[in-house]
Amino acid sequence: MTDNDTIDLAVGTLASDSVRVVLEGQAASGAYVASPTFSQYGFSWLRDGSFIALAMDAVGERGSAARFHRWVCEAVWGVRDRVDEIVARIATGRGVEPDRMLPTRYALDGTVEAAGDEAWPNFQLDGYGTWLFALEKHTAGRLDNHEAEVADLAARYLEATWSLPCFDYWEEFGDRRHTSTLAAVAAGLGAAGRMLRSDRYTAAAARVLREIESTCVADGAFVKGPADRRVDASLLSLATPFDLVPVDDARMVATVDRVRAELVTPTGGVRRYVGDSYYGGSPWLLLTAWFGWHARRCGRPDEALAARRWVEARAGELGRLAEQDVSEPQDPATVAEWERRWGPVADPLLWSHAMYLLLVAEDRA
Ligand code: BGC
C-alpha cells in the first residue's frame, strides 16, 4: 500500500468526502477521533486509528498517516514505565490488574484518560498489534530510532500479554480470549519481527498463529474464540488485511461462507455477530465495506460492488458514514435502549470512512 501514488478521488464523491471527514477528525496532535459527535467516542482508539492510517496511506494521504503514527509513538512512549512493570510482573508470575494494562484508547492529546465513574473496558490487545502492522505498511519497515524504540515497547507488551483474556474487538467478553484479537497480535508481532529484525518476535508471532489454528477452528471454519463457536465478521482480518492465511485457505473460505449465511442482512449489510445487542446488533457500514474489500481480494468483484453500493446508499447528504444502520436491527428494543443511554448512533464514524476507502483503493488496485 505504501507504494500507491495519490489516487485521484473526484470531488463530490463519497471517497473524497471520506478523506475530508477523516482529515477534519484528525486533531492537531495527529490523533484520529473515533467520532467527532458521538458522546462516548471523543477519543482515539489504536484499533480504529490504525485502520484509518492504512486507508490514508492507500489513498495517498501519507502525511496524515505519518502524523497519526507520530502521535501513537508519543502516546505509547508516555506509558513506557507501565510496560516495564507489566512485563516484569508477568515474568515473575505475579498478576496484573486489567486497569494497569495499556489502554485501548487515549485522549486526543495522547494522555491516558482519567478513570471516570463508568470505566471503559480498556484492556484490549488488538489495537497494539494492528498499529504495528500499519506502521510497517506506512514505513515499508524502515523505522527511525524513536519509532523502533516504541515498536519494541509495543511488541514486548504483546509478547508478555497475548495469552491473557481481554476485551475483544467490540469491547466485550473481557473474561475470554478472541480469535480476532489473537490475529491482530500475531500480525503485529510478525511486523515487529521484520521491522526490528527480531527472531524473538517472529517466533512469538508463530506461537500466536499456532494457538489460533489449534484452538479457534471448529467444523473447518475460524470461530469467534476458543470458547465461542459463533462467527464474527472481524474474522475477515485473518486474511484481509493481515494475510495470516491466504484468502483461499479452506478455513477462511468456510468462515466467509458463514459470514454470508449468518451475518449478511436481507439488504446486504454485515452484522458483527449473532446475538449482538449494541444499538440493535444492526449491520455495520465498516464491516460491509470490509466484506467487499475481502471479496475484491478473492476475485469476486460483483460481491465487492454490491457491498460498495450498500455503503454508498447509506451516506447521509453531507457525505457522512455512520457506525451502523439501525433500521435493520436484530433486536429493535435495544436500539431505543442505547439511544436513551448515549444518544443516536455514532455518525460520522471515521473507521467507517476508512474501510470504505480501503475498498475503493482495492477496486483500483
Ligand atoms: C466498538 C469498537 C470501536 C469503538 C470506537 C465501539 O463501539 O465496539 O470496536 O473501536 O466503538 O469506534
Q: Looking at residue 114, what is its pLDDT?
A: 82
Q: Is the CB of 291 under 6 A from ligand 1?
A: no
Tens-digit pLDDT profile for residues 217-254: 999 999 999 999 999 999 999 999 999 999 999 999 99
Task: Take atom 6 of ligand 1 and give the residue whose Cα is closest.
Answer: 170
- Tell me the CA–centroid distance for residue 336 and ligand 1, in Å: 19
What are the grid coordinates assigned to 106, written together? 487515549
> Which pLDDT band, with edges at 50, 70 and 90, does 4 fall under?
very low
Tell me the CA–centroid distance for residue 283 and ligand 1, in Å. 14
118 pLDDT more than 80: no
Strand (E) or helix (H) holding 130: helix 126-139
pLDDT, tens digit (0-9, with 9 covering 90-100), for 126-170: 999 999 999 999 999 999 999 999 999 999 999 999 999 999 999
Confidence of residue 2 (pLDDT cuts 50, 70, 90): very low
The angle that helices 301-312 and 350-364 make with each other, rounded to 10 degrees, is: 140
Beta strands 217-218 and 221-222 are antiparallel
Task: Give tens-digit pLDDT for 179-190.
Answer: 999 999 999 999
Q: Do the beta carbons of residue 153 and residue 98 sit within 8 Å? A: no
Domains, the chain: 3-364 (1.50.10.10)
For residue 284 and ligand 1, the question of a CB distance below 6 A is answered with no
Q: Per residue in 308-344, is it b (16+ CB within 10 Å) or e — as a string?
A: bebbbebbeeebbbbbbbbebbbeeebbeebeeeeee
147 in active site: no
For the question of residue 171 being annotated catalytic, the response is yes
Q: Mean per-residue pLDDT for 74-93?
A: 97
The question of whether 74 is a catalytic residue gets the answer no
pLDDT for 3: 42
Q: If pLDDT is split at 50, 70 and 90, which confidence band does 5 have?
A: low
> H/E element holding 222?
strand 221-222
More confident residue, 177 or 11: 177
Integer CA distances (angstroms), 158 to 83, 127, 189, 205, in order: 10, 10, 7, 10
State which ligand 1 atom lies nearest to the alpha carbon of 41: 5
Alpha helices in 299-349 (DSSP H): 301-312, 332-342
